[in-house]
Amino acid sequence: MIGDIQVDAQGRHRHFLTTEGLPAHTIIEILDTAESFISVGEREIKKVPLLRGKNIVNLFFEASTRTRTTFEIAGKRLSADVININTGVSATQKGESVIDTIRNLEAMHTDLFVIRHPQSGAADLIARSVPAHVHVVNAGDGRHAHPTQGLLDMFTIRRYKGAFAPLTVAIVGDVLHSRVARSQIHALTTLGAREVRVIGPRSLWPPVPEGLGVVPYTDMAKGLAGVDVIIVLRLQFERMNGALIPSASEYFSLYGLTPERLALASPEAIVMHPGPMNRGLEIASEVADGPQSVILPQVTNGIAVRMAILARLAGALPGETKPA
């Protein structure tokens, strides 16, 4: 199991690979630590010395803007030395295995790897291959998990809504292929959200959605009725085997989040999207840019949450927030 390598024999958090199996108190500790880092971004000198002298390598085998950039900013705000590897021109293009690439980077005194890979389980495989003093963060592996996105979404929900227990959350769209949705669902159920709904065509449901602790809907009007949080997912055409929806225009006509559909939710509902957004396919611009959207704050919050996770894994003291 992945959980058996996330925590070492002394109970310390060694890797961050999935939200599945994380106890609620651990998630809350990370969110609380992230709260203490929010103010760092508002300072003139946006740095604290917690990871000074540490080397972090961002190794992304898939395209990314938000995740890679926020991890880079997070590491630098903690005063770490951050190296971004362009895998398009790395030795893996010459046939070198991922594990051999990791071992060569280890030899350069890397303390922590941030990994994104198109294959599910890649981060777990790497975590099992590194020595005890090296840490691995999963920045997204195939269809399996994207735990830091899951936690930054929990952080955003908590900032706007407070306690999770009263909340009904709707996740709309391509849940079948979404590693983000899996991480969100595990975190939401652990934190005690009253109800988690998934809304979309059956072709985009996981095989047994009820097994994830969610309530599935194919009807947007019924699924959005009275919800407190709406999370819109991107249609992941690159992971689909064959056409799972008739057309983009038909999908938007049935499942696109429009102002009219948003009005079915609670008047105080917030709208989220992990990005990248496809306007006019999953979400109307009037909603994405509207007063109930917290999509850009999600991005900002991602820096603080990733700072909290990096500091936790490296054994830094989260209360130490003096400028570098």
Question: Has residue 322 been placed in a domain?
Answer: no
One domain, residues 107 and 205? no
Nearest 10 degrees: CA dihedral of 310, 41, 296, 162? Answer: 80
Question: Has residue 173 been placed in a domain?
Answer: yes
The pLDDT, as a whole number, for residue 248 is 78
The pLDDT, as a whole number, for residue 318 is 43
The pLDDT, as a whole number, for residue 188 is 98
Which residue range(s) make up the domain with 263? Answer: 147-295
pTM of the model: 0.92
The pLDDT, as a whole number, for residue 301 is 97
8 A C-beta contact, residue 22 and residue 53: no
Nearest to 263 by CA among 219, 220, 296: 220
One domain, residues 120 and 200? no
What does the H/E/C string look like for 220-255?
HHHHHCCCCEEEECCCCHHHCCCCCCCCHHHHHHHH
One domain, residues 272 and 195? yes
> Encoding tokens for residue 247?
């057309």
One domain, residues 95 and 163? no
Question: Has residue 319 been placed in a domain?
Answer: no
Question: Has residue 308 been placed in a domain?
Answer: yes
> Encoding tokens for residue 115?
């990994």
One domain, residues 240 and 129? no
One domain, residues 159 and 288? yes
8 A C-beta contact, residue 311 and residue 51: yes
One domain, residues 120 and 163? no
Tell me how crowded residue 88 is: count the other CB atoms within 10 A of its CB. Answer: 10
Cα 196 from Cα 212, distance rounded (Å): 10
* Rg of the chain, C-alpha, whole Å: 19
Q: Which CATH number do you get for residue 66?
A: 3.40.50.1370
Low-confidence residues of the chain: pLDDT under 70 = 1-3, 88-95, 237-244, 246, 316-324
Q: How many domains does the chain have?
A: 2
